[in-house]
Amino acid sequence: MSTLIHYLGRVGLNGLQNTGASALFLMRSLVGKPKFFKNARLLCQQMYYVGIFSLLIIVISGLFIGMVLGLQGYTILVQFGASQALGQLVALSLVRELGPVVTGLLFAGRAGSALTAEIGLMKATEQLASMEMLGVDPLRRIIAPRFWAGQISMPILALIFSAVAIYGGYMVGVQWLGVDSGAFWGNMQNAVSFKEDVVNGIIKSMVFGTLVTWIAIYQGYCCAPTSEGIARATTRTVVYGSLAILSIDFFLTAVMFGGVQ
Amino acid sequence: MKVNKQNESIVEIRNLSLTRGSQQIFNQINLTIERGKVTAIMGPSGCGKTTLLNVIGGQLPAQQGQVMVNGDNILALNSQQLYRVRRSMGMLFQSGALFSDMNVFDNVAFPIREHTNLCPLMVKDVVLMKLQAVGLRGARELMPHELSGGMRRRAALARTIALDPSLIMYDEPFAGQDPISMGALVKLIRLLNDTLDLTSVIVSHDVPETVSIADYIYLIAQGQVIGAGTPEALMNHSSSWVRQFMHGLPDGPVPFHYPAQNYANDLLGE
């Protein structure tokens, strides 16, 4: 019994220590005198790698998820004679939940793992150490632009995902199954509130973007500088990132839409 | 604590102790590196030679002692002060540690672009001069993965001298080099030290190459300095351990066999 308590205590303390270390790591990366011109160039470069390179998987996944949503929604709604509400169902599901969550999960798998592997490899090949010895802080030069790039790219990717998925739902619902086009778009327009739904969806995706990017860069920077260490860190990024998204999503949904005061 | 920066020593290590986990890496070691000289730190694998360079460069904090570099106590500096001090020192890593997403030119230009406001034309001239010094002006467009091991180290050396540091530390510069690359590196280290008025610290266990260019050698083992002197003095040292290391003898105070029970008993399973 005492061994179990001892073990749980150690796990708890390690967890707290890691959380504190990662918070300090992020603070040291982001707090400091900004160099706008130099940083803007690095930020654009990283947004290209993090955002543009994730675009293909986001667009294709969005299209298919929207199509499935249209098909499933129609088969259920048509039983109650409510197939006209398909647009409403598709849009609300996507903007409030599926857009930010699925984009976050895909982002963790595509961009998060790439960030961890890249930073981990830079550490293993002593590139970060050599940067330090050249008098350049790798936290400001390598970590900070990647964090901001993830933070900015994620909401944009979530919006693109939702837009493409709504089009996927439209293709299946209206063009294939024959739901009235006016009812599809009209009900959607009436049901979706920009302030309540779209903005909350954007806030969710910003939170997920922060979490995933933070986990990815911390895992890369603190991994063991070996091929095995990098592999483990990459896996941890995807696992921790996905779990963080799904658990935080519940709390955000409860606060935003669940009537929690 | 500041001291006169023009004095004879550029690095002074006093009573340095460092423990990692349960292993004591250094136990109260003292070491002085003289300005303008090529000083070698030698010793068997795993004795803490590279760790010592990391301590001098401020990348690894030590528990006890004083490490003075150019008058600054490295162990007492904060992060910002450390980055400022590092601009006057350079380190050549064993792998070269070139930035893999930049070509040779951009690698050498990196510290210049980060720390100066020189116009692109002047950056180009400085980079070409540094590359010419290491014989890689013609390889400026190549990416690190297109270079051989020796070329990578020479390109990294050009990057290290880009900001004209006063101290350069070389971590195992001769390891895994073919004879031609080795010869080129040996010549370059001595030449750069003398022509650019540098101080060089070489960490190595390649005795013939190191002896050929070092002015002074420290031998480290078991967390302590066990021998120090000119290469000639160490070759004829009174300590049998030092002589065994310097002459590469397979047996001596450091036995060929790892401690074990009696061989015959072991075979007979007794």
Q: Which of A122, A129, A134 minimises the CB distance to B59?
A: A129
Query: What is the rounded distance in angstroms from the CA atom of residue A166 to the CA atom of residue A67?
Result: 8
- Burial class from Cβ neighbours inside 10 Å (0-12, 13-18, 19+) for residue A17 reads exposed
Q: Does B57 touch chain A (CB under 8 A)?
A: yes
β-strand B9-20 against B23-34: which pairing, if any? antiparallel
Query: Can you give the pLDDT at residue A260?
Result: 57
Is A113's pLDDT higher than 60? yes
Q: What is the pTM of this model?
A: 0.84
- Give the mean model confidence (pLDDT) for residues A155-183: 94
Query: Can you give the pLDDT at residue A259?
Result: 62
CB proximity under 8 Å: B 175-204 to A: none
Closest CA to A96 of A233, A197, A190, A194: A197
Closest CA to B184 of B221, B223, B217, B158: B158
Query: What is the rounded distance in angstroms from the CA atom of residue B83 to the CA atom of residue B58?
Result: 9
User: What's chain A's average pLDDT?
Assistant: 91
Say yes or no for a CB contact (<8 Å) between B83 and A125.
no
Query: Can you give the pLDDT at residue B7?
Result: 58
Q: Which residues of A touch B83 (CB under 8 A)?
A: 132, 135-137
Q: Give CA torsion, residues B7, B8, B14, B19, to 10 deg.
A: 110
Q: Which residues of A touch B156 (CB under 8 A)?
A: 130
Q: Which residues pair with B200 in a beta bridge?
A: B38, B168
Going B157 to B158 to B160 to B165, the CA torsion angle's sign is positive
List the single residue in A with minimal CA-CA distance to B169.
A133
Say yes or no for a CB contact (<8 Å) between A133 and B59.
yes
Say yes or no for a CB contact (<8 Å) between B98 and A127.
yes
Query: What is the rounded distance in angstroms from the CA atom of residue A140 to the CA atom of residue B226?
Result: 41
Query: What is the rounded distance in angstroms from the CA atom of residue B157 to the CA atom of residue B91?
Result: 8
- Reading phi first (left if > 0) and then psi (alpha if -120 to 50, else beta), residue B116 is in beta
Query: Can you give the pLDDT at residue B249?
Result: 79
Q: Tell me the CA distances in angstroms from A39 to B114, B179, B189, one per residue in order.
A: 11, 43, 36
Tell me which H or E stretch contains B188.
Answer: helix B179-195
Query: Can you give the pLDDT at residue B3?
Result: 44
Say yes or no for a CB contact (<8 Å) between B91 and A133.
yes
Dig out the tokens for B175 from the structure.
């390891």
Q: For residues A84 and A177, is the Cβ–Cβ distance under 8 A?
A: no
Q: Which of A122, A126, A135 minimises the CB distance to B86?
A: A135
Query: Can you give the pLDDT at residue B149?
Result: 84
Query: What is the rounded distance in angstroms from the CA atom of residue A207 to the CA atom of residue A201?
Result: 10
Q: Which of A127, A136, A137 minimises the CB distance to B97?
A: A127
Which strands make up the sheet holding B9-20, listed edge to edge? B23-34, B9-20, B64-69, B72-73
CB proximity under 8 Å: A 90-129 to B: 121-122, 125-127, 129
Mutate to test the interface with A, among B56, B69, B83 (most CBs of A within 10 A): B83
Closest CA to A158 of A207, A195, A103, A237: A103
CB proximity under 8 Å: A 130-189 to B: 130-137, 141
DSSP state of A173: I
Say yes or no for a CB contact (<8 Å) between A134 and B90.
yes
The low-confidence residues of chain B, meaning pLDDT below 50, are 1-5
Q: Does B47 touch chain A (CB under 8 A)?
A: no
Query: Can you give the pLDDT at residue B238?
Result: 80
Helical ranges in chain A per DSSP H = 2-30, 36-47, 53-77, 86-92, 99-107, 113-124, 127-133, 138, 144-170, 181-191, 199-222, 227-256
Q: Does B98 touch chain A (CB under 8 A)?
A: yes
Mutate to test the interface with B, among A25, A122, A134, A226 (most CBs of B within 10 A): A134
Q: Beta-carbon neighbour count of residue B46 at 10 Å?
A: 11
Size of interface A-B (CB pairs under 8 A): 55
Query: What is the rounded distance in angstroms from the CA atom of residue B266 to the CA atom of residue A2?
Result: 43
Say yes or no for a CB contact (<8 Å) between A127 and B87.
no
Dig out the tokens for A127 from the structure.
């590139």
Closest CA to A161 of A234, A253, A65, A73: A65
What count of Cα atoms within 13 Å lies in the side-chain half-sphere of residue B126?
A: 22
Q: Which of B90, B94, B115 minimises the CB distance to A133?
A: B90
Is A258's pLDDT higher than 80? no
The radius of gyration computed from the CA coordinates of chain A, to the nearest angstrom, equals 21
- Give the mean model confidence (pLDDT) for residues A31-47: 80
Is B118 strand, coil or helix? coil
Q: Beta-carbon neighbour count of residue A64 at 10 Å?
A: 13
Mutate to test the interface with B, among A39, A131, A133 (most CBs of B within 10 A): A133
Closest CA to A197 of A104, A97, A102, A107: A97
Say yes or no for a CB contact (<8 Å) between B79 and A137.
yes
Chain segment A128-145, per-residue pLDDT in tens: 999 999 989 899 889 999
Say yes or no for a CB contact (<8 Å) between B59 and A132.
yes
Query: Can you give the pLDDT at residue A36?
Result: 66
Is A176's pLDDT higher than 50? yes
Say yes or no for a CB contact (<8 Å) between B83 and A127.
no
ipTM confidence: 0.82
Residue with tokens 């024959």: A178
Say yes or no for a CB contact (<8 Å) between B83 and A136.
yes
| C-alpha distance from A105 to closest chain B C-alpha (Å) | 28
Q: Which residues of B touch A122 (CB under 8 A)?
A: 100
Say yes or no for a CB contact (<8 Å) between B111 and A135.
yes
* Opening angle at CA A61, ends A58 and A62, nearest 5: 80
DSSP E strand boundaries for chain B? 9-20, 23-34, 38-42, 64-69, 72-73, 89-92, 167-171, 199-204, 216-221, 224-229
Mutate to test the interface with A, among B84, B110, B172, B201 (most CBs of A within 10 A): B110
Chain segment B215-253, per-residue pLDDT in tens: 999 998 888 888 888 988 888 888 888 888 888 877 777
Q: Which of A130, A136, A137 minimises the CB distance to B97?
A: A130
- Give the mean model confidence (pLDDT) for residues A250-256: 90
Chain segment A65-93, per-residue pLDDT in tens: 999 999 999 999 999 888 888 999 999 99
Query: What is the rounded distance in angstroms from the CA atom of residue A97 to the CA atom of residue A109?
Result: 18
Dig out the tokens for A146 from the structure.
């990647």
